[in-house]
Structure 1
Amino acid sequence: MAPTILWFRRDLRLHDHPALTAAAARGSVIPVFIHDDSVASLGAAPRWRMGEGLRVFGEALEAAGSRLILRRGPAREVLEELVAETGAEAVYWSRLYDPQAIERDSRVKAALKERGLEARSFPGHLIFEPWEVETQQGGMYKVYSPYWRAVKDREVAEVLSAPDLTAPGTWPESERLDDWAMGKAMRRGASVVAEHSAPGEASARAKLAAFSAHRMEDYKARRDFPAEEATSEMSEYLTYGEISPRQLWHSALRGAAEGKAGAEHFRKEVVWREFAYHLMYHTPRLLDANWREDWDGFAWRDDRRLAEVRAWEQGRTGMAFVDAALREMYVTGRMHNRARMVVASYLTKHLMVHWRIGQAWFEECLTDWDPASNAMGWQWVAGSGPDAAPYFRVFNPETQLEKFDPDGTYRRRWIAEGQARPTKTALSYFEAVPESWGLSPDMAYPEPVVGLSEGRERALAAYESFKQEQG
């Protein structure tokens, strides 16, 4: 048969890939990645990490007797050009669920079908398609707990093996990944973050196996301690599709069958990501506006030029947990989940700064940036999102640090100022951040930009005023 073009996006893997499996069953496969506006608009860190993932995935395809064709331009135009060059009669891809991707993919599918081609999208980025999970009344879920109860006992298909790939008779030309300069915006930070990144499907599968064998047992009990190696570290791999969520689901089920105490909670975290996509699909405003629309009247400050925002961005707020977490992000590209909540709470509550400013900063700096999870996480902490808590939650960064970093290991790992012998990771922060910040480890650690009591009282007063205005 004529070849099938497999349009890769956030699914850079060979195992458990329904679209790839279907394409391989049809005949020869031409794997393609397109650098379109969705790639060009990525923040510095996720764009760099995407490039690293493409490099490793290209090598994996070569080892499997295939290759990755790279093209730049609008997706529809590039695919139509490739169809003309190769004689392909089908184009397959894995679904994405953000509104921009849905609009683009719908246009592409319509155009290809109009030309008489087979154009098909497949699941794979999620376990449960957003439209397949409904309340008894037939609508979307707005609270996590009932969503979890709705899916936790569902049958989930087994993981697919990597298919054998047949090469086409001739390969179309490919652009060079290096010419795309996907790490340019990272500047000197790229070499620092690279030391803490292991892109690719092989690394993802190895890390999941290690987590399942050694850390899943204590996952629920220890996952909130940021200095410990207690989490799965799967978020970055899920972002680029270097592992499928279905693989995590079945790993958790096996762990539960073996009696591992943390297995069920791990599966709940996998479903939390599914819930974020469920919300984004049904209420796209989650990405850029208050999910609870009545929160449009809350008195956040929406100005990134504020001195407090600058201090927050630089990891120099004078709050050790907040600063350590932000510095962890600049050095590794990631941030511990407990730390994310504290960092987000401090910005939106103690500093009274709009969650969109923090969301955009994470989008620029996180290698595991995910549109749905990032937006829901910020809104959950800010109070404008899906949160069943009957009160205005304000995390105290000092008591949080005392509880989850009692011996100060996390603080020392990331904050050099004041240490006679700073750790390598703490010093790496000064190598990763922009030189224009003018920071050095011999500077004094800053005083708090706002007192904890002062910030909390201001936030609670704003909330009370907001609720009164709401009636």
Structure 2
Amino acid sequence: MSSSPVLVWFRRDLRLSDHAGLSAACGGHRPVIPVFIHDASVESLGAAPKWRLGLGLAQLSETLAQKGSRLILRKGEALDVLKALVQETGAGAVYWSRLYDPQAVKRDIEVKSALRDAGLEAKSFGGHLMFEPWTVETKTGGFYKVYTPFWKSVRNQDVPEPRPEPSRIPAPDTWPASDELAAWALGAAMRRGADVVRPFVRLGEGAAQSRLGAFIAHKVADYDSARDLPAVDGTSGLSENLALGEISPHQCWHAGARALEEGKAGAETFLKELVWREFAYHLMHHTPRILDGNWKEDWDAFAWNSDASAPKVVAWTRGRTGIQFVDAAMREMYVTGRMHNRGRMIVASYLTKHLLTHWKIGQKWFEDCLIDWDPASNAMGWQWSAGSGPDATPYFRVFNPVTQLDKFDPKRTYVSRWIAEGRKRPHDDALAYFDAIPKSWDMAPDDRYPDPIVPADEGRKVALNAYENKGF
């Protein structure tokens, strides 16, 4: 067993540095066989995240090849694939980084139990989060339901220093067979949108580290205010890379902490945003219903519109609501695969409050369209916006998308970049939207821009009246 290979099962940890499982495998001087498995969790991904995963796997494969290693690709149920690889390679151990959604937890428990019953070493490692959800507790021993106390609880906890990239990844004498990544066709559902989104992707571990370095050097000092301005490149952009583990939260945290020590005040807000991500996972672990049901269960009685084909919902999905902030943000998502955080709040509020449409419809749409899709963050963000999640009463958060635009994009720079209709010389990005969307939508830049399907003031009144009548 001391010389038998170790299978390192990659999932949402597509990096070599600060990878606890890979470091442990390489530290034992045994041959290391990196593996990625296309199982049901991959098959169920939406179009954009599945396509982005394919790009990430290609980049990881290239990075491993530069180290004299390989990424073995196999398709099937995880346990069946791992058992077959053990038979083929004589591997005596399987290492992986933990995931926290209910399906992954169930799968991993079954895999670990079966492998250990077969006499193999099966070990999971942290790394996707800084604080394991079961280690953060209130003073009474329960889990946190409000973000601010959660932040205060963890902000002074030690976050382990990131591990360096292994200097060497020992290779086996013989490599097992691997599927061809192209044969998986992970980008098939993106169709023509892939060519539009691709220039906006910052792919792989190297790009993620460069992105973090540039953010800390040039942007983090003003992050507290700049992050709310959709026309300004004031955010880190790291959600794309964190979603697939091309960079670790530990690496981001320590970079932010150093910046804060250097007097860059906005760094504290950056650290809080990293902990907001942790809080989403904390809630998903303790209350997994947040993924597919109202976190506040009294919202089960609310009469949401649940018809995704309703004309106003279709207008929302296509960026044709007549509300400029909403439409610009939706179009940004189709062209770049991401959406500014302020825009996410506005489009979510408009769908759930002004259109009184179930947050699950928006959650599902984002799941299909975002290259930075993350199960916990997406669910919590939608429920926070809808009022059914971990936040105060909805009366205090019905965003007016017009006054929000006046406040955060007063010169309409953001709107001009993403909306083509009615402009003599539309921005290239506004025109790219029409190259990204399905042809069946039958939209063109010279169309007339629509009147609001629900005016901002009117929608707020309707929402508040609906809540009052339901006793919220």
Tell me whether the two structures share a fold, i.e. TM-score over 0.5. yes
* Contact 1:379–1:385 (Cα < 8 Å) also in 2: yes
| 1:450 Cα deviation after fit | 1.1
SS of the aligned residue for 1:232 comes to coil
Aligned-partner residue type, residue 70 of structure 1: L
SS of the aligned residue for 2:450 comes to coil
Give the 5 Å matches for 1:436-447: 436-447=440-451
| 1:389 Cα deviation after fit | 5.2
| 1:425 Cα deviation after fit | 0.2
Query: 1:12 aligned to 11, 14, 20, which one?
Result: 14
SS of the aligned residue for 1:39 comes to helix
CA distance in structure 2 between the aligned counterparts of 1:136 and 1:65, rounded to whole angstroms: 49
Give the 5 Å matches for 1:9-158: 9-26=11-28, 27-158=30-161
Write out per-residue CA displacement over residues 85-122 of structure 1, whole angstroms, 9 at most, x where no aligned residue.
00000000000000000000111111111110000000
The answer to which of 373-382 and 442-451 deviates more is 442-451
Aligned-partner residue type, residue 153 of structure 2: A
Query: 2:178 aligned to 169, 174, 177, which one?
Result: 174
CA distance in structure 2 between the aligned counterparts of 1:388 and 1:150, rounded to whole angstroms: 20
CA distance in structure 2 between the aligned counterparts of 1:169 and 1:274, rounded to whole angstroms: 41
CA distance in structure 2 between the aligned counterparts of 1:91 and 1:330, rounded to whole angstroms: 38
* Contact 1:300–1:354 (Cα < 8 Å) also in 2: yes
CA distance in structure 1 between the aligned counterparts of 2:87 and 2:27, rounded to whole angstroms: 22
- Structure 1 gaps of 5+ residues are none
Aligned-partner residue type, residue 171 of structure 1: W
CA distance in structure 1 between the aligned counterparts of 2:219 and 2:19, rounded to whole angstroms: 26
| 1:451 Cα deviation after fit | 1.9
Aligned-partner residue type, residue 5 of structure 2: P
| 1:452 Cα deviation after fit | 1.8
How much is the aligned-residue C-alpha RMSD, in angstroms? 0.8
Work out whether 1:222 is the aligned partner of 2:235: no
CA distance in structure 2 between the aligned counterparts of 1:206 and 1:298, rounded to whole angstroms: 46
Aligned-partner residue type, residue 18 of structure 1: A
Distance 1:336 1:386, change over 3 A: same
Work out whether 1:435 is the aligned partner of 2:439: yes
SS of the aligned residue for 1:221 comes to helix
SS of the aligned residue for 1:367 comes to coil
SS of the aligned residue for 1:165 comes to coil
Give the 5 Å matches for 1:61-460: 61-163=64-166, 164-388=168-392, 391-460=395-464
Write out per-residue CA displacement over residues 219-246 of structure 1, whole angstroms, 9 at most, x where no aligned residue.
0021100111100001010000000000
CA distance in structure 2 between the aligned counterparts of 1:408 and 1:217, rounded to whole angstroms: 25
CA distance in structure 2 between the aligned counterparts of 1:247 and 1:198, rounded to whole angstroms: 17
Aligned-partner residue type, residue 146 of structure 1: P
* Contact 1:19–1:93 (Cα < 8 Å) also in 2: yes
Aligned-partner residue type, residue 22 of structure 1: A
Give aligned-pair identity as a percent. 63
* Contact 2:241–2:372 (Cα < 8 Å) also in 1: yes
* Contact 1:18–1:122 (Cα < 8 Å) also in 2: yes
Aligned-partner residue type, residue 103 of structure 1: K
CA distance in structure 1 between the aligned counterparts of 2:455 and 2:130, rounded to whole angstroms: 44
* Contact 2:284–2:290 (Cα < 8 Å) also in 1: yes
SS of the aligned residue for 1:121 comes to strand
TM-score (norm 1): 0.98
CA distance in structure 2 between the aligned counterparts of 1:76 and 1:390, rounded to whole angstroms: 44
* Contact 2:395–2:464 (Cα < 8 Å) also in 1: no
| 1:455 Cα deviation after fit | 1.2
CA distance in structure 1 between the aligned counterparts of 2:396 and 2:403, rounded to whole angstroms: 17
Aligned-partner residue type, residue 101 of structure 1: A
- Structure 2 gaps of 5+ residues are none
* Contact 1:430–1:441 (Cα < 8 Å) also in 2: yes
Aligned-partner residue type, residue 376 of structure 2: A
